[in-house]
Each structure stands twice: as structure tokens, then as C-alpha cells.
Structure 1
Amino acid sequence: MNALSVAVSANLPVLLWGAPGTGKTSAVLALGERLGLPVEVVVGSIREPSDFAGLPVLRDGRTWFAPPRWAERLAESGTGILFLDELTTAPPAVQAAMLRVVLERAVGDLTLPASVRVVAAANPPEQAADGWDLSAPLANRLIHLDWTVSAASVADGFTAGFPPPSLDGLDPAAVRPADVSRSRALVGAFLRVRPELVLSVPDGPSRAWPSPRTWELAATALAYTGSSEAVRAELVVGAVGEAAGFELLSWLRDLDLPDPETLLSDPTAPLPERVDRVHAVLGSVVAHVAADGSADTWQRAWTLIARVARHTPDVAATAARSLAARRPRDAVLPGTVLHLTPILRSAGLLP
């Protein structure tokens, strides 16, 4: 499954849902071996909350929440995969203790290295041994992927061996911070149009649901999936759920945004008419400016903001705030900024 490989490579916490005996654990172990990452398997049903929150002990007259040995091994390695297997066999108290582990990599008073990936696997509660529903807070910390196998893939695996998940042309190592910033800008532009999708807390047990946290996961996933629409759809829907995820994907397909460098180089280049697309364009331009880092590019961006301010000053004000925060040390404000005084004042950049 390419989506699993991308999620692990991008350090996105991911949960595999599938029937028992379909090779989820074997696939994660094989992926860890392929990527050169040690894998620590932790099964929730045989653990206590203290195995994640830490066991209180006295040290030098103070209470220390000592981490378990599996956490110490990952810390000593400096990287690896924490594999939370059989997640739906963990009772609610254990799931609650896992919350900081998944989100903050905190195990007791030990913080795991940032490069430690979190992967989980679960059977549907009705198929798990003494199964429990997944709590909404824990579900909201993970990207949910369906793990399916076909008869043909199983037959081929018995004949030629079961290959680990592959990237198939995707290169997560090539993703730059600017790519992530651009994806965040696109998601932000979408949520301006559909603010009701920012947060939708489920009433009962669920898998993926939209919140600021999961939109952050979706934005990062967009940056790492390149041109692979299938993998992008799996990860985005797995982060925020089907309704919100498919709406974002449909909106992105219809954007057809101009290249930021074209807009910065040509003062007469056409701009989109729709406000949501203008938001997306300026967000992409600011991300491009931040990645470029030159004073010339930063100064040319103000000319573009001045063009936008003539028709949609509120959009220009938002972009102006972001652009001002990225001013290179040797950059000089261009003359066009003088015409933007009302915009800059509304953005809080002038008294």
C-alpha cells in the first residue's frame, strides 16, 4: 500500500484498519526493514496505562514517571517505528494513556525523538478479541487507512513472496518546507470557503473526522503525494473523513492556479476572479517567496498584493500580514507599499 509508505516516510501517524490475519503486522515489519528503521511492537490489550503514561518512581527525592523499555530502546536508536498493534483491544483507560504518545511522542517523562514514526493497526471492534470502539480523541490523532487484500495478491505472495509496501515513483525525500507551506495555504484557502468543515466532532464512535489537527495532517499529506491522485485521496480522506476529504479534493481539481513565478514576473498576468482562488494564489505566492528568500522576490510580491487590493482588500490584507513576517533582512519596501497604507493598517502592520 503506497499510502502507508508515504505516511511513514512523511512521519504522519497512521492507523491501518483491516480484518484479522491479513498481514498488517507483517507489512509494517517489512516496511521498517526496507527503510532501515527499528520497529517496536506494542499490543494495547496486554499493557497498562502506566506503560504509556509512565510508572511513578522516586528519584532524588522527586517523582519520576519512568518509561517502559520499548520507549527507551526507541530513544536510544534516535529513530524507528512505534507500532501500536491491535489498537481496538486496548480498553478506554489505555487508549487515554496513548494520547500524548501519539501526538507528542511523550512516554512518561521521556520524549521520543521527533523522527520516531507512529503506526497503528486495528481490527473492527466486532472482529477484535474483546474489542473496544476507538475513542474520538485518539481517532483524531491518526490518518485512517483501509487495509485490503485481494485473492490474486495473496496467491502471488505465496508464489513469489510478499513484497513490502512501495513508493512507486513517489519521493518523499524530495519534499521541501516550501511544498508543505504551499499545501497549508491551499487548505487554508479551502477552509475560508467552507468554514463549517473546520471542526465536526462526531457524536459517537468514528474513524477520521475534521479538526484543525487533522487538517494539518491532510495539508502535509498533500505535499508528500505529488501527482499520485490515488495516494492523495487515501491520505486526505483518511485524515479528515470522506465528506470533508472528497470536497477538498474536488475543490483542488478545479483550481487550475497560475504559477507563482509567472505572477511575480509579469505584472499583467491574469488573476483568478473567484475569491477562494485568489486566496489560494496569494498563499502559494507567499510560500514561494519564503522558499526563495531573496529580497527581489519579496519586493515583487508587494506589487501583486497591490493588484489584488484594488478588488479584494480583505484578501490582500491577509497575504500582506504573511508576507511582512517573511521580510529578508536586506529587503527595501517598494514604492507600491505607499498605496497600501489602508490595507497594511487593517492587517495590523501599521499603527
Structure 2
Amino acid sequence: MFCRPSHESLSCQTGSLIPKLSVLFGVTFVLLKVLQFYWERKKLIKALEAFPGPPKHWLYGHNRLVRIAGPKEYPHAFPRWFGPILPSIIIHHPEYAKTILGRADPKASAFYKLLVPWIGKGLLILEGSKWFQHRKMITPAFHYDVLKSYVTLMSESVKVMLDKWDKRITERRSVELFQDVSLMTLDSLMKCAFSFNSNCQTQRSVPEFPNPGKASAPVPPLILLTPALPLCMLSKFSFREDLGKMTYTTMCIKESLRLFPPVPGVSRELSKPVTFPDGRSLPAGLLSLSILHVAVCDKGTWSLLLPQVFDPLRFSPEKSAQRHSHAFLPFSAGSR
């Protein structure tokens, strides 16, 4: 005799089947993701084989290497592994930098997130429409007519620094240029941006300035300020009627920015495959790190002159006309 299963038994069987199906679907999903990761990694490693680089540790990658490589050892670009699973490509050739910076790839968040606790979410971190909005807001502040009013204030700060040097020379004491120029930068910044005379060049105590939310607030650490800032500010004036005639001074400023660019490198995450002029390609998803400092030191770009030697004549009119458009990028290039 055939017995039809009861409603309760069917419900019990269905209830026990659902967890099994969930586990099966979960395992299948994980296996598909593993296969996808394996396939993409295989394609990536295959693409990176076209770019010779320094040997890497199977676990640490290149993390433990103090100095990895440069243009001499590996022209154009080479792989750089952060641990065993996170590869990137280091670019140090102008033509390669032009290819990457000419695209609209997003910033590599893995790199830039490390800078947020240090410098906050400013123009260097922002991207896309938000970067454009903030950049548009501050552009008027750097208009030449606006900056003219700051010349006197910066000149006063420079005079204080020079007076200190004159005194030390008279006393036959050595001069620590980096510290003094950093203090002069801070003094200029406090006067121009906050209308506050900190006297930081002559006083040892950390200066404070009024803050609407608090009684006082400390100035950001001096480590955030380098001699590059006054050089950048001065370069803004190099096109004015008087300083524009100081051709050699402008060349010295540019050479200083070449050796010590305010933006030493930029990172991008490739949103789609890229093919370089020499035919080598990279897949989407790879982190690309353009080392601008190394790029501008490329021997092929800077003729036969030693790239690490300070030589303002590199920026003479005749040599500038022959230079690659992306050989001198102290502030990066392209979209952000």
C-alpha cells in the first residue's frame, strides 16, 4: 500500500534541505572567487614578466629592501611587490608617466589612505569632482594680483633670517640652512595665511595663534614644512615684472624643484588596461606608482649631464625646448 507523505514530513524535509543548499551555494561562490582571483593573478604575473625587476622575497616581497632600483638598473618601469599578493608597477620614465597621467584612473586608495592621519583629506588625497571643487575654491587665492600683497610680508621674514646669518657669520658660527629656512617658511605662512606675527625665527618656544574654537592652538609641526614651500611661492612671482627678468634665479628655482619636488610621486589604480608606447601592456586593477623624482633624474632625459648634480643650466631656453613634456613635473600632471 502506498502512503502519501504528510504535510509535516514534507515541511521537515524542505527545512533540512535549505541549509544544505545554502552551504552548497556558499562553497560554489567561494570556489568561483578563488578561481577568478587565480586567473586574474596569473594574467597579472604574466604581464609583469615583460618588466624585469629586482628579486622579491616570497613572503615580504620588496618590503625589506631599503633601496629597490632606479633608471640605471631597470629602464622605464619595474614591478614592486608589497608582501606576497599586492603588486604595483614603479614608473620612472617621462613617456610612461605621460601615458599614466594622461588617463582618468582613480587614485590608489591603498597608498593615499596611509597619508590621511598625517596630512588629512586635502587636495593631495581628494579626487574627481570633490578635488575639482576644492581646487576651484583656492585658485583665486593664488592669483598674481592677490599674491603681490604678500611680497612685503615674505621679504620681512627673509630679512630676519638673513640678519641671523649675518650675526652667526660675524661670530664665526656655522649656519643650519634647513632649520632656518623652515622657520622662515613658517613665519611667512603665519603672516600671510593667519595675519599673525609668531616671531618663531627669534623665539625658541612653539608659536600659537588665536583660534575661534579654542583659546589657542599649536602650529602644525615643522616637519610638515620644507624649504620647497618658499621656493614654490617664489616661483609664483618669477613671472612678475621684476623677478621675471631674473632668468638665472628662475632656473635655480626649477632645478631645486627638479631634485626635491613637492610631490615626489603619484599613485593610480588602473581602471582599464594600458599599453605603453614600446608595446608592453598592463591589465586593469594594477597599482601604478609614478616616481616623479626618479623620472626627472633619468639620464636620457637630461642629456649627458649627471642627473643628481645641481645644475640650473638644465633649464636654459635652448635645453628646455628639447626636453620631454613630462620630464619636469614638480607638482604632478593630468586629472586628479
The TM-score by the shorter chain falls in which range?
under 0.3
Q: Which has the higher contact order (CA 8 A, sep 6+)?
A: 2
Larger Rg: 2
The structure with more helix, counted as a fraction of residues: 1
What TM-score do you get using the length of structure 2 for normalisation?
0.23
What TM-score do you get using the length of structure 1 for normalisation?
0.23
